[in-house]
């Protein structure tokens, strides 16, 4: 049952990254490329009917984490308390940036909320990438000092950064050069993803320019991915052991590479949704490849005193996990129906939605 709920949780997180990821990306595009009111409206129209529903996947993932893996929930929400609070405030500012902009027809008012929306989206993309970097790198479980564990084996707490800014320091921070690199990769990836969504859902004058932006950013992304793989050995001496032991796991990097190289052809696609499909494949493949590389670990330990938190050591009781399957089946059907209706109603281009106009 632990493996079933782990797959459910990872699937929900991947769904959140893909769905809310294009909202973050649209915000980044809005911040840097939307110069006219027409362009800004096209972007907000593209995500307006979807963004709040997409955020529900994050809440649902947190619920599954709390139910199925309570020890991991307790550990992560205490250890990552500072960045989680920052993410919460950024989510709030992104939301009110979208909702309050149209309340007052005043250039200064609109400019303030445009910046709130764009900057919040950029920082959210950065922080979610940094969060993934922390999971890959690991944390000082039990807060070991001078070879002695000063807290429970699953406890840790991280400041935002440490003085050395190193991922190999004893006293780790949330942000170091390795996690920051993954944060930058996240920003670039979601900017590509958001641009593809705008191309897919609008007939904006920006679309041709965005195809060029996607092409250039994809070239940047390839370089960043190569660098990240090359330096991964600094964090994990044998990072590909799972792929060697279980060759079936190579399906995930293959999905990632398929999406990545498909992005280079964005200018030639006749169907506007093809680019979005490619960036979705890259996101799904990249996230699952990362998770597969550390499986069954869910939070590695950087010390030799306390063991890694694994899928099996943090799971809830077998009885609870089994009973939860029945409720999950009901919820899955309801969510599937809701999403089908939502995307059916808002099928096609969104240029005339008029989101945020009051």
In a domain, 54, yes or no: yes
Provide the pLDDT confidence category of residue 355 given band limits of 50, 70 and 90: low
The mean pLDDT value for 256-265 works out to: 93
The pLDDT mean for the chain works out to 88
Least confident among 35-39, 96-100, 131-135, 149-153: 149-153
CB under 8 Å to 265, separation ≥6 — which residues? none
The mean pLDDT value for 309-320 works out to: 89
In a domain, 241, yes or no: yes
Give the model confidence (pLDDT) of 162-192 as tens digits: 888 888 887 888 999 999 999 999 999 999 9
In a domain, 357, yes or no: no
pLDDT > 60? residue 245: yes
In a domain, 334, yes or no: yes
Give the model confidence (pLDDT) of 14-50 as tens digits: 999 999 999 999 999 999 988 888 888 888 888 888 8
How open is the CA angle 211-214-217, to the nearest 5 degrees? Answer: 150
* Residue spans of beta strands (DSSP E) within the chain: 144-145, 148-149, 297-299, 309-310
Confidence at residue 25, expressed as pLDDT on a 0 to 100 scale: 94
In a domain, 358, yes or no: no
pLDDT > 90? residue 259: yes
By residue range, what is the domain housing residue 96? 2-345
The mean pLDDT value for 233-245 works out to: 83
In a domain, 224, yes or no: yes
Q: Which residue do the tokens 């500012």 mark? A: 93
Percentage of the chain surpassing pLDDT 70?
98
CA pair distance 64, 70, nearest whole angstrom = 9
pLDDT > 90? residue 338: no
In a domain, 149, yes or no: yes
Confidence at residue 352, expressed as pLDDT on a 0 to 100 scale: 72
In a domain, 218, yes or no: yes
The mean pLDDT value for 286-302 works out to: 90
Confidence at residue 357, expressed as pLDDT on a 0 to 100 scale: 59
Count: domains in the chain: 1
Percentage of the chain surpassing pLDDT 90?
42
What tokens were used for 199? 């191309």
Provide the pLDDT confidence category of residue 356 given band limits of 50, 70 and 90: low
CA pair distance 194, 279, nearest whole angstrom = 9
Give the model confidence (pLDDT) of 136-160 as tens digits: 988 888 888 877 777 888 888 888 8
Instruction: State the angle between helix axes of 37-47 and 177-201 in degrees (0 to 180), rounded to the nearest 10.
Output: 100
pTM of the model: 0.92
CA distances from 83 to 28, 60, 73, 333, 353 (A): 20, 19, 15, 33, 35
């Amino acid at each position: 049952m632990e493996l079933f709920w782990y797959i459910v949780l990872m699937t929900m997180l991947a769904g959140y990254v893909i769905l809310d990821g294009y909202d973050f990306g649209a915000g980044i595009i809005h911040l840097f490329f939307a110069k006219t009111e027409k362009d800004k409206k096209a972007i907000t129209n593209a995500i307006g009917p979807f963004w709040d529903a997409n955020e529900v996947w994050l809440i649902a993932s947190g619920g599954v984490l709390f139910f199925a893996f309570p020890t991991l929930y307790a550990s992560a929400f205490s250890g990552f308390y500072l960045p989680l609070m920052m993410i919460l405030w950024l989510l709030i500012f992104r939301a009110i940036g979208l909702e309050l902009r149209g309340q007052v027809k005043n250039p200064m008012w609109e400019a303030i909320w445009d910046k709130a929306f764009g900057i919040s989206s950029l920082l959210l993309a950065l922080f979610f990438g940094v969060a993934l970097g922390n999971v890959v790198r690991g944390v000082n479980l039990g807060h070991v000092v001078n070879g002695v564990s000063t807290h429970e084996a699953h406890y840790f707490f991280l400041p935002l950064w440490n003085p050395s800014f190193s991922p190999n320091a004893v006293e780790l921070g949330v942000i170091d050069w390795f996690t920051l690199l993954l944060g930058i990769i996240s920003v670039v990836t979601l900017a590509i993803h958001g641009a593809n969504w705008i191309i897919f859902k609008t007939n904006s004058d920006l679309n041709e320019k965005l195809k060029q932006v996607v092409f250039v950013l994809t070239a940047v992304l390839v370089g960043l991915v190569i660098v990240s793989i090359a330096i991964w050995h600094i964090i994990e001496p044998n990072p590909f052991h799972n792929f060697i032991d279980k060759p079936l796991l190579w399906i995930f990097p293959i999905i990632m590479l398929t999406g990545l190289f498909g992005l280079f052809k964005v200018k030639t696609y006749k169907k506007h949704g093809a680019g979005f499909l490619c960036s979705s494949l890259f996101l799904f493949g990249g996230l699952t490849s990362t998770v597969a590389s550390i499986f069954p670990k869910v939070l590695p330990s950087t010390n030799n005193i306390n063991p890694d938190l694994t899928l099996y050591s943090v799971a809830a009781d077998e009885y609870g996990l089994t009973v939860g399957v029945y409720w999950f089946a009901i919820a899955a059907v309801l969510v599937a129906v809701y999403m089908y209706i939502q995307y059916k109603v808002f099928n096609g281009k969104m240029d005339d939605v008029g989101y945020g106009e009051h």
